[in-house]
Structure 1
């Protein structure tokens, strides 16, 4: 097993570039010889889509400006590489491993050609060390080293949505929950989209510098509201149009950082059950699917989203009783053919309760790939999944042509991400972008009507983390935290104080009788700085509630 050195093995990257240059000096496309160049096609720069931009730019030009996808040369190179794989290597290249321990994960990449490794908390960082990020950087470098003979990068993904789903914490810059994107865009579509793209670009730069090339974000699901058991503020809101704009802005930022993003969970986790434990019923008929659930994904596809993750959902109007992640009717029929999506398709984790009991052993991986997924994510048992996929390839149950096309898509996107310019990715260096998103999102739900003076002293209460971060932000701004108005932070329960601030789901504000109610969507220091600026009168609350069911007091 390679040692955990903190250095980034620079020769590893030049190795696959050098081998590609030699092995693919001539690529045959449509019968025409094309010389391999390091980068013959320019990277198109994605821009945030807004109604203003759409009014002055033709649809084709807008789509071209948004497109972040492999170049023709990268795609041709990827096809050659995929076609050269043995069936044994092809089987591994269709799976992203579930991390058990470092040695086992590295062996899967090195010996069985797994596409990548998904490392989740608590294993992802040892926060007890003085430099917790060095551990994950070293392991990510080891992963690439283990795949050193394949002539293209190994996929190293991470769940880093912001808010509650943040696998990498200290010393990375903390970002607020994705509902902040919906609040920012609902408040001001143009400036909100810029704040969202700026935040995801900043987050993506830090992730890429840490050795990740893929992020499983943003959420394209439209939350059902207060009854939502798992998505909640991971969603941008209850309005499909707002969610769609939020997703496009987020994908834009990630693409600018050179990171493969994955919009999830197709066709929309807009349900009242948690797919981690059961198979939820998505009861939308085809019209509601088209007009509601699929709206954010359609926008993501039009914007050139690199990847889409499927959800474990029983879509009764399309393929009743079959999880969408296992359904050829949903993936190949709707996503590929009806919506015309030609990017990467990855399943949700195959170790979740919605599928693991229905598809034992390695069957879940086989079914996901047969249905049209390019990558089977985190099977419950890596080795059994590999053997099942290999057997299905040999028997023809998984068509070899389909499998090689999937692998070519994966390789092409990895090459494209690897060739993108490296931005400043110093861990913790993007508090400004995080605060800008919170400042655009913070929402005044109700306030004392009439003239009111800025707050000069406030007594905070609530969660210890929120209070600690608020006190730090208040101290920076010269705001006293002893005496004065009472302020209560709440994430789920109603509370009373002079000022009540929700830091996650804003629904508790509906039951509060506080004279001033504010939705913040975050607990970290950058979010608290935005809150302090509003309380002290240095900034206005510019966001707008992106969810239904909470009355906004009008003065």
Structure 2
């Protein structure tokens, strides 16, 4: 355990140092300034890029990722795919039904299937995880003649974005990672790594091999429309450290992770509804938005997910997910990234309004994405990609290189040691992260002794708090009023107000004691109850500015 934490801290420091080195070397002529403003940034693939032999002779990679032999095997498998299979291998299907999803994998060679919403988990059964495991196994069986696994991804960031909850261990929002690192440095980073390693172990046991997390976005504060507590902080350096710590944990669990949403969903418009403009100039991009992704690349990030963002300083009017300047020239050539590039969901408003039918899938692949995620219509997307391959609109060798990257990571994940991952077996790691993140924002002097509590808030949060209080022997009813301030609730009034998502509402709340918690599940509430009972100190640090002075020292 100590060796694992030491390795994680060392890798975090190494990645941070690597980022600073890159910035020093790049200087005023940063990678964004090297993008040709008037060209398409496409360039011509070199002979080495086109050669399977050259790909196979690449140096043995450092960090978690495909070995040289796995890359060689992947290149051979990718080059043997007929065009009809190659087209499917570039797409992760949107699941409308289990039957259709299995058919897409079996008959059209789709790379994988993304299941979301109510379809993912039927909580009405006695054993709700059984159906999930069974379907994930059926997906692998549907692609059983490939010689490599089917990609089975999940959105499981923690907090509000967690497609699977009970019976798996639940984890707090990623903003907890920022608070833990801001308050505890390397120890906080180690808690983040332990949490993502634990989450990854349970996800692999459930049949997943890919997680679309962590967020490399830097929240813009209360005006943030969709990212919010999914971001670790408004401080780019804190986000970079949190991303590296999270990647380390997922990689230790053998899970392919994908940092999102490149080059940063640091905007005031929700890309589910329209195309946001990331109005950073080149200097701001270099010194702020890109730092978490540079850290991720230095830490051998397996995947990066592109965002549907108009990066106006680079490719005005074109979503980053569709921009060859941003992906092929920027991310690939200038940042030197050779991991998986995955588009954000192609069923989102930012692209559906501009690229009808299968056009968005073709454009994402042409721009340099290895995998086009969740097109609005799977069959239209497949037909469009196949036609583009046959016409040469999508270069065949580029497509085979993309397939080889995906296959190599799937082979590596399959070969990685599977850690113990019994459902719900990692509440200690979840609670420890919440304990590291918990932040006292205000308190009276002297600090009052709490002997009984009356919680208010959402029914789920109150139920979790009551469970934690009863376990700890803290009487319920009367005494100190505790208001649990959840997402979308602007303020509260009580003896103690606790934010369980972003902490901005604490500034508007009326309470002598204010605590930022970043989570509302039972492990988070156990950490909170320990603080209220005086058994633990809340030494996290706010990762965002909420307009309040530091708490008074007693």
| TM-score, normalized by the shorter chain, greater than 0.5 | yes
Q: Give the CA deviation at 1:112.
A: 0.4
| Aligned match of 1:191 | 187
**Residue ranges of structure 1 left out of the alignment (5+ in a row):** 1-43
CA distance in 2, matches of 1:139, 1:200: 24
CA deviation profile, 1:172-198 (whole Å, cap 9, x unmatched)? 111001000000000011110010000
* Structure 2 Cα separation of the partners of residues 96 and 414 of structure 1: 14
2:461 to 441, 448, 466: 466
The 8 Å contact of residues 153 and 209 in structure 2, kept in 1 or not, is answered as yes
Matched, 1:292 2:252: no
Name the CA distance, whole Å, in 1 between partners of 2:270 and 2:425: 35
Query: 1-side partners of 2:461 and 2:331: how far apart?
Result: 41
Identify which of 306, 311, 314 aligns with 2:310.
314
For the 8 Å contact 1:47–1:65, the answer to whether it is kept is no
Report whether the alignment pairs 1:521 with 2:481.
no
- Equivalent position SS for 1:483: coil
- What TM-score do you get using the length of structure 2 for normalisation? 0.89
Distance, in Å, in 1 between the alignment partners of 2:7 and 2:88 is 35
Aligned to 1:542: 539
Give the whole-Å Cα distance in 2 for the aligned partners of 1:455 and 1:115: 55
Per the alignment, in what secondary structure is the counterpart of residue 455 of structure 1? coil
Change (3 A) 1:498 1:217: same
Would you say the 8 A contact 1:162–1:178 is kept in 2? yes
- How many residues align structurally? 508
Q: 2:140 aligns with which of 133, 141, 144?
A: 144
Query: CA separation in 2, counterparts of 1:440 and 1:65?
Result: 33
Q: Which residue of 1 aligns with 2:450?
A: 455
Q: Does 1:241 align with 2:237?
A: yes
The Cα shift of 1:66 comes to 7.2
Q: Tell me, what secondary structure is at the counterpart of 2:314?
A: coil
1:553 Cα deviation (Å)? 2.6
Question: Take 2:5 and 2:65, find their aligned partners in 1: how far apart are those partners?
Answer: 10
* Alpha-carbon distance in structure 2 between the residues aligned to 1:151 and 1:54: 36
* Equivalent runs, 1:389-400 vs 2, <5 Å: 389-400=385-396
Shift in alpha-carbon separation, 1:248–1:144, aligned structure 2, 3 A:
same
Task: Indicate whether 1:92 and 2:83 are aligned.
Answer: no
Kindly state the Cα deviation for residue 548 of structure 1 after the two structures are TM-superposed. Answer: 1.5
Q: Is the Cα contact below 8 Å between 2:93 and 2:374 reproduced in 1?
A: yes
Partner secondary structure for residue 270 of structure 2: coil
Q: 1:554 — aligned with what?
A: 552
**Structure 1 residues 368 and 471: CA distance shift in structure 2, 3 A:** same
2:34 paired with 1:74: no
Contact 1:48 1:66 (8 Å CA) reproduced:
no
Does residue 265 (structure 1) correspond to residue 261 (structure 2)? The answer is yes
Match of 1:204 in 2: 200
User: What do residues 6-56 of structure 1 show as CA deviations (whole Å, max 9, x unaligned)?
Assistant: xxxxxxxxxxxxxxxxxxxxxxxxxxxxxxxxxxxxxx9994245995599
Deviation per residue, 1:437-486 (Å, 9 max, x gap): 00000000011123x34311111111111111111101111101112111
- TM-score w.r.t. structure 1 length? 0.89
CA contact (8 A) 2:12 2:245 kept: no
Please name the residue that 1:501 is paired with: 498
What is the Cα deviation at residue 233 of structure 1? 0.1
Contact 2:434–2:527 (CA under 8 A) maintained in structure 1? yes
1:540 to 1:66, Cα distance in 2 relative to 1, 3 A: farther
Q: Give the direction of change, closer, same or farther, for the CA distance of 1:54–1:97 in structure 2 (3 Å limit).
A: closer
Shift of 1:333: 1.2
The superposition leaves residues 413-432 of structure 1 with CA deviations (integer Å, 9 ceiling, x where unpaired) of 00000000011110111100
- TM-superposed deviation, 1:169: 1.4
Q: Secondary structure of the equivalent of 1:261?
A: strand
2:482 counterpart of 1:510: no
Q: Indicate how the Cα distance of structure 1 residues 65 and 448 shifts in structure 2: closer, same or farther if over 3 A, else same.
A: farther
Change (3 A) 1:356 1:53: closer
Change (3 A) 1:368 1:283: same
Q: CA deviation at 1:550?
A: 3.0
- Aligned residue for 1:505, secondary structure, equals coil
Q: CA deviation at 1:515?
A: 0.8
1:170, distance to aligned residue in structure 2 (A): 1.6
- Following superposition, the deviation at residue 86 of structure 1 comes to 0.3
Q: How far does residue 500 in structure 1 lie from its aligned partner after superposition?
A: 0.5
What does residue range 72-471 of structure 1 map to in structure 2 within 5 Å?
Answer: 72-450=68-446, 452-471=447-466
1:541 and 1:467 map into 2 onto residues whose CA distance is 20
- Closer, same or farther: CA 52–85 of 1 in aligned 2, 3 Å: closer
- 1:274-317 per-residue CA deviation (whole Å, 9 max, x = no partner) reads 00010001000010001111010000000000000000000000
CA distance in 1, matches of 2:393, 2:17: 46
Change over 3 Å in CA distance of 1:349–1:494 after alignment to 2: same
* SS of 1:141 mapped into structure 2: helix
Structure 2 CA distance for partners of 1:179 and 1:165, relative to 1, 3 Å: same
SS at match of 2:481: strand
> Is contact 2:61-2:68 (8 Å) kept?
no
* Change in CA separation of 1:146 and 1:379 when aligned onto 2, cut-off 3 Å: same
Equivalent residue number for residue 41 of structure 2: none
Output one character per residue of 1:65-111: Cα deviation in whole Å (capped at 9) or x when no partner.
97211000000000000000000100000000000111111010001
- Comparing 313-322 with 441-450, greater Cα deviation is found at 441-450
Q: State the secondary structure of the residue aligned to 1:123.
A: helix
Establish whether residue 478 from structure 1 lines up as the match of residue 473 from structure 2. Answer: yes
